[in-house]
Copies of this chain bind each other. A is one copy, B any other.
Amino acid sequence: MLFFTQCFGAVLDLIHLRFQHYKAKRVFSAAGQLVCVVNPRHSLKYASDGCAVSQTSTDQSAHRHCREVVYDSQLTSCTCPLFSCKWDGHLEVVVSHLTQTHRIGILHGAEIVFLATDVHLPAPVDWIVMHSCLGHHFLLVLRKQEKYEGYPQFFATMMLIGTPTQADTFTYKLELNRNQRRLTWEATPRSLLDCVDSVITAGDCLVLNASLAQLFSDNGSLSIAIAVTASDIQAVEPDM
């Protein structure tokens, strides 16, 4: 009986310790998040990267049509996701195109903090970073754009450098947290084949107007915490 009681106590102890360890691990993870400083990219900047540049400079020029996207049965051909770059090629080589031609860095880890600098710059302007986790590459795009003149807005989305079927197996979360306010957007990433411009034009992303961006920014920088997880539809949409 003594042995049984001791064993039972030890098992309960282990359960409790495991719970404490899980909590401690989460705190450590939050405190040790990787912060990535991302500088803005104007359309003119892309010219120096050796890419073809669109000659139009109006707000409408930000809405590049993805006519080059080939939605065939293999779904492997796409355009460069960057504004005004006319490169197109196979999905498998987009990552090397982005790192080599546009010098976009790759961050590793499921949870990172994206720190966009100089958010006061006039639209159109992009902040872009690649994010490698769970065996895939993701592209985070923050775009400042004036859909209506004099009314700049920020659009943030995460795209999987992969097919729509692969994208459906993940969930991403973007979180802004400052001045006792928190804004969170959780969704399934879209495939790069869906085209960044189309996603932003459709408004199917995190949208911030200038007032909210001002509230969440600190010295001209906007901090967005990013987390990617394997998709769990039940967790995102409980009972609704």
Is A47 an interface position by the 8 A CB rule? no
What are the residues of chain B within 8 A of A31 when measuring CB–CB?
239
Q: Which of B180, B184, B212, B236 contacts A207 (CB 8 A)?
A: B212
Q: Which of B2, B16, B183, B210 contacts A185 (CB 8 A)?
A: B183
B187, A185: Cβ atoms under 8 Å?
A: no
What are the residues of chain B within 8 A of A16 when measuring CB–CB?
12, 15-16
User: Can you list, as one digit per residue, whether each of A171-191 has a CB less than 8 Å from chain B (1) or not (0)?
Assistant: 100000111111111111000
Q: List 5 A-B contacts (CB under 8 A).
A: A31-B239, A181-B187, A182-B186, A203-B209, A204-B215
What are the residues of chain B within 8 A of A148 when measuring CB–CB?
148, 151
10 additional A-B residue pairs with CB within 8 Å, beyond A9-B12, A12-B12, A183-B184? A19-B19, A151-B151, A180-B233, A181-B186, A182-B184, A182-B185, A182-B237, A183-B183, A203-B211, A204-B215
Q: How far is the CB of A104 from chain B (nearest CB, A)?
A: 25
